[in-house]
């Protein structure tokens, strides 16, 4: 098995105090019931090894175990085989590399939402991920667009990459993005967003 980092820490869109999202990828993807049992066992093992605030959530939509590393106070979440989240993280990272203005604008919006406590989906508000999607849509719908839609830019006929039944293909080649005329400098921000 291997463990991969995903979410805001891996995409470069984390803010101060963000948790660390980890995904355990067993050699053979487990059935959901087996994944739930793995979460419970991981919770027991993390507690036995001295992690703090261990909270297994095997019945959550995406089963996770939450814990805090007592040495660093870092909050962590571990899920099992969440390959769709890994693919989404790669897409968001590609957007941050498309234009230097993406990361600061996303950070500002996430900070704004956090200050107003409207980034807590368990309380009925949008998630940080949803705010990132809104920012990207905003940047894509300017005239001219600030960032391209990486899911369609230079897409070869019939190209698709399926993860859990979803097509997650996107233009991952930075040269193709530059060739399409994107990667404007920061001095053009006001002009493009205005």
pLDDT tens-digit series, residues 118-161: 998 889 999 999 999 999 999 999 999 999 999 999 999 999 99
What residue has token string 């233009």? 171
DSSP 123: G
Residue 19 and residue 77 in contact, taking contact as beta carbons nearer than 8 Å = yes
Tokens of 82: 């969440």
What b/e string do you get for 144-156 counting C-beta neighbours within 10 Å, with b at 16 or more? Answer: eebbbebeebeee
Peptide bond into 96 cis (omega under 30): no
Containing 25, the helix (H) or strand (E) segment is strand 20-25
**What's the pTM?**
0.87
**pLDDT lower than 70: segments of the chain:** 183-194
Please name which of 56, 74, 76, 75 lies closest in space to residue 65, comparing C-alpha atoms: 56
Strand arrangement of the beta sheet that strand 52-57 belongs to: 2-6, 20-25, 75-80, 64-68, 52-57
DSSP-derived pairing of the beta strands 75-80 and 20-25? parallel
Please name which of 65, 64, 88, 95 lies closest in space to residue 164, comparing C-alpha atoms: 88
> Considering the chain, what percentage of its residues have pLDDT values greater than 90?
84
Amino acid 191: pLDDT? 52
Please name which of 68, 52, 56 lies closest in space to residue 20, comparing C-alpha atoms: 68
Amino acid 194: pLDDT? 53
Amino acid 178: pLDDT? 87
DSSP-derived pairing of the beta strands 20-25 and 2-6? antiparallel
């Amino acid at each position: 098995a291997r463990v991969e980092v995903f979410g805001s820490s891996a995409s470069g869109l984390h803010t101060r105090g963000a948790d660390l999202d980890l995904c355990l990828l067993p050699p053979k993807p487990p059935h959901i019931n087996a994944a739930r049992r793995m979460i419970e066992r991981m919770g027991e093992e993390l507690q036995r090894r001295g992690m703090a605030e261990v909270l297994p959530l095997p019945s959550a939509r995406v089963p996770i175990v939450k814990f805090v590393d007592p040495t660093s106070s870092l909050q962590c979440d571990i899920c099992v085989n969440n390959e769709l989240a890994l693919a989404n993280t790669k897409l968001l990272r590609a957007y941050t590399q498309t234009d230097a203005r993406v990361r600061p604008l996303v950070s500002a919006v996430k900070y704004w939402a956090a200050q107003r406590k409207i980034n807590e989906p368990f309380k009925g508000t949008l998630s940080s991920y949803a705010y990132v999607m809104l920012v990207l849509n905003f940047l894509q719908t300017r005239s001219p667009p600030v960032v391209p839609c990486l899911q369609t830019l230079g897409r070869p006929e019939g190209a698709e990459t399926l993860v859990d039944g979803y097509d997650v293909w996107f233009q991952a080649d930075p040269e193709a993005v530059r060739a399409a005329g994107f990667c404007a400098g920061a001095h053009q921000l006001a002009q493009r967003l205005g």
